[in-house]
Amino acid sequence: MVSKESQNIIDLYKSWKARSGPDTTITDLRELFEEWSHLTREPGGVDYIEVMAGSVPAMWIVPKDCSRKHVLLCSHGGGYVGGSMYAHRKFFAQMAKAVGCIALNVDYRLAPEHMHPTPVQDMTEAYRWLIESEGHAPENIALIGDSAGGALALTNIENIRRAGLPTPGATMPMSPWCCGDHSGQSYQTNHENDVLTDEAFSEELANIVLGANADRKDPLSNPLYIDYGGFPPIYIQVGGYEAIVDDSRRIAEKAKRDGADVKIDVFPEMQHCFQLMAGKAPEADDAIHRFAGWVRPILGLNSKLG
């Protein structure tokens, strides 16, 4: 049984559904996605500094007394059409504070103005900036993101390899979205459980991001088709009530078959991106500390959580 605090995300998603319909515009969608910021408690003891990561706007998140040698590279969710570094500022700060390192929160460009593969190109540029301009060692960098940002925490590594760059130390995708691939059975089995995501909504977003005639098996948009051989360690988290829970399960299975080191946790009865309730719901706090406990030894941080 979920905590009463976790009702917050259900209420928010139901509010979104009540305010959206056939006439919903991109501007409307973006305004809805910005409301994600209300779910997360301000962690305190964190500085925020806006920068340009090459040509890409970004935000340094700097917890007090953290390691500046280790970095989380953060990609926000929002179906590639919404969300921002501002909407996810508090959430990625909660994550950085738990790990005890700095984070770079990237404001990649959005569709329909900038369609696929622009988001993954922007994330790769931010990664290149970290290692080539800022001097961070790739093995000290971990990727993290939710939903579309969770997909970017995987597709970015594929693009990093194509660019001939060294791969990061780890990646932590939350509910990675396979962008218009509806072959997972959970779209049907969780149809009544998921209060936000369904096949129609997913298809609508995918058409905006990819175009109606795009290749739905492109590894830069659909993590199900990445060759995970040679990938760094992967830790996937997903809610058990999500329509896209099978996307995460199938990505984990594919990565394991390809020889990657993979961990996956499915949180019973939890909704899409429930981790955004960090600081307000025990399930979200548990998820954050599982991530932190997993990634710290991989990055070479000490065992004490920040």
Domains of the chain, CATH where assigned: 4-298 (3.40.50.1820)
Question: What percent of the chain is predicted at pLDDT more than 70?
Answer: 99
Token match 């993590």: residue?
223
Round to whole Å and give the CA distance between 176 and 157.
14
Q: What is the pLDDT of residue 185?
A: 96
pLDDT at 306: 37
Identify whether the C-beta of residue 262 lies closer than 8 Å to the C-beta of residue 236: yes
Residue 220 near residue 159, CB atoms below 8 Å: yes
C-alpha–C-alpha distance, residues 254 and 275, integer Å: 24
Q: In this predicted model, what pLDDT tens digit does every residue of 119-133 receive, in sequence order?
A: 999 999 999 999 999
Q: Which residues contact 44 (CB under 8 A, 6 or more apart)?
A: none
Burial of 52 (0-12, 13-18, 19+ CB in 10 A): exposed
* Beta carbons of 291 and 235 less than 8 angstroms apart: yes
Report which of 69, 38, 1, 8 is spatially closest to residue 281, judged by C-alpha positions: 8
User: How much is the pLDDT for 305?
Assistant: 41
pTM > 0.95: yes or no: yes
> What tokens appear for 144 in the block?
């993290």
Q: Which two tokens stand for residue 53?
A: 């990561």
- Cα angle 304-275-124, degrees, rounded to a multiple of 5: 85
Q: What is the pLDDT of residue 304?
A: 47
Side chain identity at residue 258, one-letter code: D
Q: How far apart are alpha carbons 122 and 105 in whole angstroms?
A: 12
Query: Dihedrals φ, ψ of 95, to 5°?
Result: -70, -45
Amino acid 3: pLDDT: 95
φ and ψ at residue 36, rounded to 5 degrees: -55, -30
- pLDDT tens per residue across span 201-228: 899 999 999 987 889 999 999 999 999 9
pLDDT < 50 stretches in the chain: 303-306
Closest CA to 77 of 286, 294, 244: 244
